[in-house]
């Protein structure tokens, strides 16, 4: 269970995250939506340790992670993928996976065997299978297509066996068809792995069709939380979206 308790962060007086309190139940799938500048990415950055919160708690199974460094938080079990695929351009897909698993298993000292253990290889193999990257295992990451790089980024988070997976706009920069393929993949991952998945998404069609739970952020605050039906009917949400974004309004 991931519990966020009155989390706040401001940049020079602007409150990017303002007293956010939220629960993510184990095995839930939640979409975080909100207009541009709503503080969605800041929210993710706070949870993963990229930014230090001004105040508040981030409790993962009762352990407070607020203010810890990214490597520590990853080791507690919160993995993330980035809006712009963040990968290791010169490594092949397979090398990326193996190296990440070795680091995670603390088998990455100079004295460790080059020939990875069966367990290491299995985990790498499993992650590549889940994201459909097996056929591209020997491709250098920089030469992968945009979509495959996003998949590799997610695989890199998943291979660490996280309890919670945060995906910052998994469909960013993709065409309509590719978006649906990606989001189906995300849903499939969630179903197979039984982990907590939180993702940021702009496309309302996708959000309302896929996510059982939705969190709406606006100006760093929580505007509403609930099921797609509840969010659709929520007055404040309609107001915020109709006021700013035509596309979203049409979707609702």
Does residue 104 interact with other proteins by CB under 8 A? yes
6 or 61: whose CB is closer to other proteins?
Answer: 61
| Residue 70 found at the interface with other proteins (CB under 8 A) | yes
Give the one residue of 48, 171, 196, 234 binding other proteins; rule: CB under 8 A: 48
Q: Is 69 in the site for other proteins (CB under 8 A)?
A: yes
State the DSSP string of 173-221.
Answer: T--HHHHHHHHHHHHHHHHHH--EEEEE---HHHHHHH-SEEEEEETTE
Residue 128: alpha-carbon gap to chain centroid: 18
Is 108 a binding residue for other proteins by CB under 8 A? The answer is yes
Within 10 A of 173 (CB to CB), how many other CB atoms are there? 13
For other proteins, the closer of residues 38 and 97 by Cβ is 97
31 has which bridge partners?
199, 214
219 binds other proteins (CB under 8 A): no
62 binds other proteins (CB under 8 A): no
Task: Residue 158: name the closest of 186, 179, 135 by CA.
Answer: 186
Task: State the nearest-atom distance from the C-beta of 107 to other proteins, in Å.
Answer: 6
- Size of the chain in residues: 252
39: left (phi over 0), alpha (psi -120 to 50) or beta: left
- Choose which of 7, 66, 100, 186 interacts with other proteins (CB under 8 A): 100
Residue 109 is a binding residue for other proteins (CB under 8 A): yes
Return d(Cα 156, Cα 124) in angstroms, integer: 9
Give pairs for 102-111: CB < 8 Å, separation 24+: 104/75, 104/159, 104/160, 104/161
The answer to whether residue 75 forms part of the interface with other proteins (CB under 8 A) is yes
What residues are paired with 80 via a beta bridge? 166
Within 141-170, which residues bind other proteins (CB under 8 A)?
A: 143, 145, 156-157, 160
Please state the closest distance from residue 233 (CB atom) to other proteins, in A.
37
Residue 107 found at the interface with other proteins (CB under 8 A): yes
Task: State which residue, 33 or 101, has the beta carbon closest to other proteins.
Answer: 101
> Which residue in the set 116, 131, 186, 206 belongs to the binding site for other proteins (CB under 8 A)?
116
Query: Per rule CB under 8 A, is residue 126 in the interface with other proteins?
Result: no
Six-digit token string for 143: 């030469």
Give the residue, chosen from 110, 177, 192, 235, that forms a contact with other proteins under the rule CB under 8 A.
Answer: 110
Applying CB under 8 A, does 212 fall inside the site for other proteins?
Answer: no
Tell me the closest approach of the beta carbon of residue 43 to other proteins, in angstroms. 16
What does 70-86 look like in DSSP terms, one character per residue?
Answer: HHHHHHHTEEEE-SS--
Strands (E), 25-54: 29-33
Residue 20, helix vs strand vs coil: strand
Q: Which residues bind other proteins (CB under 8 A)?
A: 48, 50, 69-71, 74-75, 79-80, 82, 86-92, 94-96, 98-100, 102-104, 107-116, 135-139, 143, 145, 156-157, 160
């Amino acid at each position: 269970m991931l519990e966020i308790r009155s989390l706040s962060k401001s940049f020079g007086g602007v409150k990017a995250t303002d007293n956010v309190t939220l629960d993510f139940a184990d095995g839930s799938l939640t979409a975080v939506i909100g207009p541009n500048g709503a503080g969605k990415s800041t929210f993710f950055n706070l949870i993963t340790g990229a930014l230090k919160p001004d105040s508040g708690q981030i409790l993962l199974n009762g352990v407070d992670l607020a203010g810890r460094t990214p490597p520590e938080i990853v080791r507690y079990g919160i993995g993330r993928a980035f809006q712009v695929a963040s990968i290791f351009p010169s490594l092949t897909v397979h090398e990326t996976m193996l190296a990440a698993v070795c680091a995670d298993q603390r088998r990455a000292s100079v004295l460790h065997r080059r020939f990875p253990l069966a367990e290491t290889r299995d985990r790498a193999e499993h992650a590549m299978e889940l994201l459909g990257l097996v056929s591209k295992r020997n491709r250098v990451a920089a030469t992968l297509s945009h979509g495959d790089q996003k998949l590799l980024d997610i695989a890199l988070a998943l291979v660490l066996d996280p309890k919670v997976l945060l995906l910052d706009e998994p469909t960013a920069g993709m065409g309509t068809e590719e978006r649906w393929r990606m989001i189906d993949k995300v849903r499939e991952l969630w179903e197979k792995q039984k982990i907590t998945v939180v993702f940021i998404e702009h496309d309302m069609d996708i959000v309302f069709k896929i996510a059982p739970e939705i969190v709406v952020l606006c100006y760093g605050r929580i505007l509403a939380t609930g099921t797609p039906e509840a969010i659709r009917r929520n007055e404040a949400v309609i107001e915020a979206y109709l006021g700013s974004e035509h596309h979203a309004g049409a979707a609702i």
